[in-house]
Amino acid sequence: MTRHQRIHSGDYLKCDLCSAKFTEPCELRAHRQSRHEGISVACPVCGKLFPSKHSLSNHRAQQHPKKTFTCTFCKDRSFVKLGNLQHHIDIFHKS
């Protein structure tokens, strides 16, 4: 796609670290090298890249909050996955 087509279609090339928009691949490469070279941290959940651990922490808190499932029998045991809670109940609290 040419620069002219990108401008008129709104189909810009976007930086995956800061969402800056460019019409040429060389502009995007230059931007990445000057602004983000060697500073990318990937989200382990979705793979999106961030310029710092702090940015990644903010992203994870907003986009991937940890949901925990607490055992109603123990009260002090919680699990990230519902299946793990169910397994725990089956093993330790089966009537």
**Residue 23, pLDDT above cutoff 90:** no
Q: Exposed (0-12), middle (13-18) or buried (19+): which is 34, by Cβ within 10 Å?
A: exposed
Give yes or no: residues 33 and 72 share one domain.
no
Sign of CA dihedral 79, 83, 84, 89: positive
Check residue 10 and give its pLDDT: 66
| Global confidence as pTM | 0.37
Give yes or no: residues 7 and 53 share one domain.
yes
Residue 53 — pLDDT band, cuts 50, 70, 90?
A: confident
Structural domain of residue 76, as residue ranges? 67-94
Residue 26 — pLDDT band, cuts 50, 70, 90?
A: confident
Identify the three-state secondary structure at position 9. helix
Give yes or no: residues 9 and 51 share one domain.
yes
CATH number at residue 21: 3.30.160.60
Long-range CB contacts for residues 29-32, cutoff 8 Å, separation at least 24? none
Check residue 5 and give its pLDDT: 58
d(Cα 81, Cα 27) in Å, to the nearest integer?
43
The per-residue pLDDT of the chain, averaged, comes to: 82
Check residue 88 and give its pLDDT: 94
Give yes or no: residues 74 and 54 share one domain.
no
The arithmetic mean of pLDDT across residues 63-80, rounded, is 85
